[in-house]
Amino acid sequence: MKKTDLHELRKDPLLGRWVAVLSRSKAPSEYILPSDEDIEHDCILCTGRENETPSEIMSVPRLNTDQTKRGWWTRVIPNINPVFQVEGDLGRRGEGMYDKMNSVGANEVIIESPDHSARPEDMGLDQMARVITTYRDRMSDLEKDARLRYTLIYKNSGKEAGAVFSHPVSHIASTPVIPKRVKEELDGAKQYFSYKERCIFCDIVREELRIGNRVIIETRNFVVFCPYASKFPFESWIVPKRHNCAFQDIKADEIEDLALILSSLLKKMRAAFNGLSYNYFIHSAPNRIPRKNHWHTLGEDFHWHLEIMPRLLRTSGFEWGSGFYILPTSPENAAKYLREV
């Protein structure tokens, strides 16, 4: 094998996971995407059908010039088929050597627009800012529940990403345990801080800005880049420049900036991959109710961020079995393609 054909193994500094970056990067045109038809034809999430959904948790009202309510900009409702339910207690118990508890928590749907056909990247910066504000408000409210340990905000866009509505929506899952994937990040960040007394995310932002070849967009408050050891091709992270462990502490000017940078990135991805399905999610600090031995250094070592995962490949048995990912487009080339769109 020629030296130029050698693939590269990269270690993720946060999770310690290894990624194989293939020597020849695929261009966007080499990814074949399935067609994505409407998932449902009779949408109860559209404006005018509010009485057909579960009872509203909150909404951002759409006001007339005289400040009377004329509808809504965003609505939050309970998930129609929830995995986690707010009512009840945890009921922690054992069954032989195994542990279990009740699935207490929250499953909510954030309806991002009254317009059924609105795509997130096309709804305008004001509306995107309202969606982000709704994220913040729901996370802040759920943090008050002492039974809940973690709140995840996520979006499934397209059939390949697991979407069940064609209406633009995001989801909230608030759980009585910290999910394993999140705990790995928290542990990795804490270990890095213990060794270097610096936040790993702040170091990553500085390094990506210094090198520049994996950066897609930079604004006053945020940087978007393809991670050095990405799990999936064209994976992108949006990370705030200001050190802040909790998304719900985002400031007003950061909300406006995040609306701009998220819209811009999604437009770039759509231009590169027509019909792309993707997931995005926000990794934030666990609910910060004081507990014994509970993440006391979070404010110093963790840094909230938003990860976007384009659904371009199917995960193989090797990746599922080993946790070792294979990357057919290098992060450097992925960032270059998206910068130039």
User: Residue 278's CB: how many other CB atoms inside 10 A?
Assistant: 24
- Residue 208, sorted as left (phi over 0), alpha (psi -120 to 50) or beta, turns out to be alpha
What residue numbers bound the domain in which 311 lies? 3-340
User: Picking from 123-132, 260-269, 323-332, which range would have the lowest pLDDT averaged per residue?
Assistant: 323-332
CA gap 214, 225 in Å, rounded = 5
CA gap 323, 315 in Å, rounded = 10
Query: What's the pLDDT band for 2 if we cut at 50, 70, 90?
Result: very low
Q: Which residues pair with 18 in a beta bridge?
A: 11
User: What CATH code is carried by the domain that includes residue 17?
Assistant: 3.30.428.10
Terminal Cα distance for the chain, rounded: 34
CA atoms within 13 A on the CB side of 134: 29
How many structural domains comprise the chain?
1
pTM tops 0.75: yes
What is the enclosing helix (H) or strand (E) of 170? Answer: strand 169-175
- Read off the pLDDT of residues 69-87 as tens digits, 9 standing for 90 and up: 678 999 999 998 888 888 8
Q: Which residues pair with 75 in a beta bridge?
A: 59, 111
> Pseudo-torsion of CA 156, 159, 160, 163, nearest 10°?
20
| Amino acid, single-letter form, for residue 220 | R
Average pLDDT of 30-51?
76
- Read off the pLDDT of residues 92-120 as tens digits, 9 standing for 90 and up: 788 787 787 788 889 999 999 999 999 99
- Read off the pLDDT of residues 257-291 as tens digits, 9 standing for 90 and up: 999 999 999 999 999 998 899 999 999 999 876 55
Say if CB 236 and CB 224 are below 8 A apart: yes
- Residue 307, sorted as left (phi over 0), alpha (psi -120 to 50) or beta, turns out to be beta
The DSSP call for residue 160 is G
